A and B are shown apart, each in its own frame.
Chain A
Amino acid sequence: GESVGLHLPTLSVQEGDNSIINCAYSNSASDYFIWYKQESGKGPQFIIDIRSNMDKRQGQRVTVLLNKTVKHLSLQIAATQPGDSAVYFCAENLSSLVGGSNYKLTFGKGTLLTVNP
């Protein structure tokens, strides 16, 4: 069935290192993916998105990679900072389906990223 999950529930890195957060999805028809960051006491905040016609997309200090062959999504954070400590969620969406519910994002459980000073 449709599901989005994460390989690792927790990730601890040193300040300044690069972080990689992984996500696996099971629905090969999904064509739009989003990464969200949720800090303690706050709602999820958009980080970056990618459509299935792309393999890579870069933002400020973040890169999302999409491997449709193995249905894998990753978020790379360069030079991780203490302010990056949060739970990171990936979500998938079937936006291109005709008549489909393209507003339904399916979320993974999240990975807790801890940045050590």
Chain B
Amino acid sequence: ETGVTQTPRHLVMGMTNKKSLKCEQHLGHNAMYWYKQSAKKPLELMFVYNFKEQTENNSVPSRFSPECPNSSHLFLHLHTLQPEDSALYLCASSQDPTSGSGEQFFGPGTRLTVL
């Protein structure tokens, strides 16, 4: 596989459930990102990892917990979410963000619905 892949593509969960979103990039990049995309709103940056180290937490509630075991994999652990957390969650990767163009490559996203 090439590019950035995300699983699952669709997820429906109750507010008391625990689930995880997975992202994998096959581009040899060093930085990975989680974004939230809600209807009629700009993409919201949630977390950034550079060389497996979290470098950005954009005031995200603690019910979202990221994990980056290596530079190719990124997880988003979900726990006791709210209905307003329903959105498309996008993963992206890029080369070393301290150099290069800053272009980010996106996965197809996970469509999350919280009941």
Contacts and interface: CB of A to CB of B under 8 A. Distances in A.
B59 interface: no
A95 B98 CA distance: 8
Given A43-B108, A44-B90, A109-B40, A103 B101 contact: no
Given A46-B103, A95-B101, A103-B50, 6 more contacts: A43-B107, A46-B105, A103-B48, A103-B55, A103-B56, A105-B102
A102 B97 contact: yes
A4 B43 CA distance: 11
Contacts of A43: 4, 6, 90, 92, 106-109
B56 A104 contact: yes
**Interface-central residue, A45, A102, A105, by most chain B CB under 10 Å:** A105
A60 to B, nearest CB: 17
A108 B103 contact: no
Interface in A43-63: 43-46, 49
Interface in A65-117: 89, 91, 93, 95, 101-110
B57 to A, nearest CB: 12
B93 to A, nearest CB: 11
A104 B98 contact: no
A105 B104 contact: yes
A107 B97 contact: no
A89 B43 contact: yes
9 contacts: A32-B101, A41-B108, A43-B106, A46-B104, A46-B105, A101-B56, A103-B48, A103-B50, A109-B42
A45 B103 CA distance: 10
A115 to B, nearest CB: 21
Contacts of B94: 103
A105 B41 contact: no
Nearest to A32: B102
A108 B55 CA distance: 23
A93 B31 CA distance: 15
A65 to B, nearest CB: 18
Given A103-B31, A103-B48, A4 B106 contact: no
Interface in B58-101: 90, 92, 94, 97-98, 101
